[in-house]
Structure 1
Amino acid sequence: MTQAAGQDESLLDYALREIKARIQNGTYPPGTKLSTQEISDSLGISRTPVVAAINRLVAQGVAEAIPRRGTIVARLNGRQIKDMIDVRRMIEEFSIPLAIKNLDFYPNILQEMQEVTEYFTDNELSDYTVFANLDTKFHQLFVSLTGNQQLMNLYEMNWSVGALFYMYSVSKMPLSRHVKAFNHHKEIFAALLSKNEEDLREKITEHFGMIYDSIEWYESQVNSMEK
């Protein structure tokens, strides 16, 4: 369902959010042509912010401009998605000691992380998109504990692409396969609060193992359908 633009949200940000959501939930799968007229009509806004949003997606690598064809949702294979996940993993592992060191300076961030983990625990997994967005939020909050804005920019730039295609891929999996990974955030958060660097590193390594397993599962399904 398309949500109206928020009170403090520009039409560009609104268009960007909605197009990304449609890529993420499979409405616009990889290879789909992004029609500015169709999108502007469906959102009830002019073509100008839609064109600007699509251009930004091209700059981020989410979309690809094809001569004489228009702009399509980029096609990323499993290897490319894994490469992006690798970068995300390296940034999060680098963030561990800084996050622990700065833990007491960012109570608001910790509160938000706790709210995310409680949502995972208290709500049944019925809407993958909601849980996936909270998953992204949790990890972005974790990296923000470093207090390093350049690191955050790098993380968000990489993950803005990787998250969309990773989420699109694993959204095709049975919801039951996601429960363990989503609930695992509680263990990561507990290790963070304990300031146990070794335990936190172990939990994050385990978490990324789940992510890699999800991608491999999806690739196996795609390969079996192509045979």
Structure 2
Amino acid sequence: MNTESAPHAPTATRTAKALREVLEEDIAGGVYPPGTRLDEASLARRFAVSRTPIREALIELAASGLIEIRPRRGAFVREIGIRRLIEMFEVMAELEAMCGRLAARRMTPDEHARLVAAHEACARATESGDPSAYFEANGQFHEAIYSGSGNEFLAEQARALQSRLKPYRRLQLHVRNRVGNSFQEHEAIVAAILDGDDTRTEEALRAHILIQGERFNDFVASLRPRDGAS
């Protein structure tokens, strides 16, 4: 596959963070299948940038667990099978549920305001039909809950796994009706937190994160065209 002409190529002015996000989505979508070597020079040509931001982006991807940097061999895409992906989402659901339970008990009025502001940003993105904007607002929404838990160690663990699952969480938003359904789930979460109902918050967040049944089948189906193209 000619990756230099692959979609989503950022301009030369983009940062390592932006490059990392494009590569995350390409890895999750099968543009770079498991085992692929990510060559710095080829990526620099594709994105029309120097090798420095490429190297920084690869280091960030390695820290999140999506790729492996092997001494004297380069960077390679890690394999995350369907079973492993399910297991990771199950753990993510429990971490988020725990954050939500604590947040419902501990959030201050200022933290409530931050959560509501992120929820309103999600509403605007939903109304505009923009999955990318929703993804960014969704990140702020969940970060408000992590911070509001009042447990920094727990928040760190949630952020670390969220980072590793980020490309898959981004892709599932492209499944039909997922953005709208996600927003409705957010509304239930916000209402439970503002009511101070820790049990309801915990249950709503766990259900929000878990991918199961038809939803998971739809998500896997969304990956197949890209797999075939690769």
Tell me, yes or no, whether TM beats 0.5: yes
Aligned residues between the structures: 216
From the superposition, tell whether residues 141 and 28 of structure 1 become closer, same or farther in structure 2 (CA, over 3 Å): farther
Q: In the alignment, which residue of structure 2 is the partner of 1:138?
A: 141
From the superposition, tell whether residues 15 and 219 of structure 1 become closer, same or farther in structure 2 (CA, over 3 Å): closer
Q: Which AA in structure 1 matches 2:50?
A: S
Q: In the alignment, which residue of structure 2 is the partner of 1:109?
A: 114
Q: Contact 2:26 / 2:32 at 8 angstroms: preserved in 1? A: yes
1:194 aligns with 2:198: no
Structure 1 residues 76-91: aligned runs within 5 Å: 76-91=80-95
From the superposition, tell whether residues 151 and 69 of structure 1 become closer, same or farther in structure 2 (CA, over 3 Å): same
Q: Contact 1:98 / 1:146 at 8 angstroms: preserved in 2? A: yes
Q: In the alignment, which residue of structure 2 is the partner of 1:42?
A: 46
Q: RMSD in angstroms over aligned alpha carbons?
A: 3.3
Shift of 1:145: 0.9
1:206 aligns with 2:207: yes
Q: In the alignment, which residue of structure 2 is the partner of 1:155?
A: 158
Shift of 1:91: 1.5
Q: Contact 2:100 / 2:205 at 8 angstroms: preserved in 1? A: no
Q: Contact 1:181 / 1:207 at 8 angstroms: preserved in 2? A: yes
Alpha-carbon distance between aligned partners in 1 of 2:18 and 2:127, rounded to the nearest angstrom: 29
Q: Contact 1:81 / 1:166 at 8 angstroms: preserved in 2? A: no
- Give the % identical residues: 23
Alpha-carbon distance between aligned partners in 2 of 1:46 and 1:37, rounded to the nearest angstrom: 9
Question: What do residues 38-63 of structure 1 show as CA deviations (whole Å, max 9, x unaligned)?
Answer: 32233332102212321331232111
Shift of 1:171: 5.8
**Correspondence for 1:20 among 21, 24, 43:** 24
Q: In the alignment, which residue of structure 2 is the partner of 1:94?
A: 98
Shift of 1:18: 3.6
Question: What do residues 139-172 of structure 1 show as CA deviations (whole Å, max 9, x unaligned)?
Answer: 222112113332222111111112223444x367
Q: Contact 2:93 / 2:207 at 8 angstroms: preserved in 1? A: no
Q: When the two structures are superposed, what TM-score results if normalisation uses the length of structure 2?
A: 0.74
Shift of 1:3: 5.8
Shift of 1:94: 1.5
Q: Contact 2:99 / 2:155 at 8 angstroms: preserved in 1? A: no
From the superposition, tell whether residues 28 and 140 of structure 1 become closer, same or farther in structure 2 (CA, over 3 Å): farther
Q: When the two structures are superposed, what TM-score results if normalisation uses the length of structure 1?
A: 0.75
Q: In the alignment, which residue of structure 2 is the partner of 1:122?
A: 127
Identify which of structures 1 and 2 has the higher relative contact order when contacts are C-alpha pairs closer than 8 Å and 6+ apart: 2
Unpaired runs of at least 5, structure 1 = none
From the superposition, tell whether residues 137 and 30 of structure 1 become closer, same or farther in structure 2 (CA, over 3 Å): farther
From the superposition, tell whether residues 222 and 58 of structure 1 become closer, same or farther in structure 2 (CA, over 3 Å): closer
Question: What do residues 60-116 of structure 1 show as CA deviations (whole Å, max 9, x unaligned)?
Answer: 211134688642322211221122212221212212332122232425522432323
